[in-house]
Chain A
Amino acid sequence: MLLRYRGSEGMLAWAFHRISGIAVWLFILLHVLDIWLVGANPQLYDDVLQIYASPAGRVMESLLGAALLYHALNGLRIIIMDFWPVMTNYHKQLWYANWVLFAVIGLPILIQIMAPAFGFAAPFRFQ
């Protein structure tokens, strides 16, 4: 089903939703297991977090954020079309709007996460 190409925005929106959903599901499995360590083995948890904070970990972190943000925005698009069916006529425009929001929200987060991997201080400071 994933490989039967039908083309255009609707099919790509669906395929990305499925791929990002499975990716986030895989991370949820990992994430409940690592949080389990906070109670069971705090020292091991701290070691795992150092892997997450490594440059490779930050790439994975960014990919997770991208999957999460795409899935969230496209999920909103699906809900809009489900409960306001006339919007289905604009499903392509809604998908383009998703990508605009994806870039606007995602870029600052990407820079914040990746800066330490290149030896820079994180640009936004909150504490």
Chain B
Amino acid sequence: MGYNVTRSGRAKPQGGGWELVIWYLMRLTGLGLFVTALGHYIIVHFLFDPSEQTAKWITDERWGNIAWRTVDWLMLTFVVFHAFMGLRTVVQDYTTGGVRTLLTMGLYLGAIVLFAMGTIVVATLQFPTP
């Protein structure tokens, strides 16, 4: 094709199937995180300072309304998929056979646990009493 091929990213899987779906979803969640995760970092590290961020501040301000909780839950969804599928690519690059299967299953399990924990805390934390 005459292109100067570089492999910064994973090569697009040929032949379709789940691997191609995952390849597209990595890019889609990456774009989502470009907005949500960078935005999140700007808010909690540039606009505000960690010294102000008590549990009360999170309950009253950051998660004081459902809109911010929804944004943060979306970010959680993007990041759990993107981070654990990214680690899966790393595992596939360096391991084979039983070790690869074990580590991949461990990653899937870890992703489910982390997604559940994040969802529970963002969904069940009490709203501030007016």
Contact = CB atoms under 8 A, between A and B. Distances in A.
Given A28-B79, A109-B45, A68 B38 contact: yes
Contacts of B114: 28-29, 32
B87 A78 contact: no
Interface residues of A, number: 56
Interface in B2-60: 3-9, 12, 27, 30-31, 33-34, 37-38, 41-42, 45-51, 53-56, 58-59
A44 to B, nearest CB: 9
Contacts, number: 128
Interface size class of B (residues with CB under 8 A): 35 or more
A47 B124 CA distance: 22
B55 A88 contact: no
B83 interface: yes
A35 B80 CA distance: 15
B93 A13 contact: no
A5 to B, nearest CB: 15
B30 A46 contact: no
A96 interface: no
Nearest to B4: A89
B94 A53 contact: no
A127 B49 CA distance: 11
B3 A86 contact: yes
A68 to B, nearest CB: 6
B128 interface: no
Contact of B12 (A37, A45, A65, A82): A82
A65 B38 CA distance: 9
Contact of A10 (B6, B45, B94): B6
Interface in B82-130: 83-84, 86-87, 90, 93-94, 110, 114, 117-118, 120-122, 124-125
B1 interface: yes
B83 A14 contact: no
Contacts of B27: 78-79, 82
A22 B55 contact: no
A96 B76 CA distance: 30
Given A81-B6, A91-B8, A124-B46, A28 B94 contact: no
A1 interface: yes
B48 to A, nearest CB: 8
Given A36-B121, A72-B37, A85 B1 contact: yes
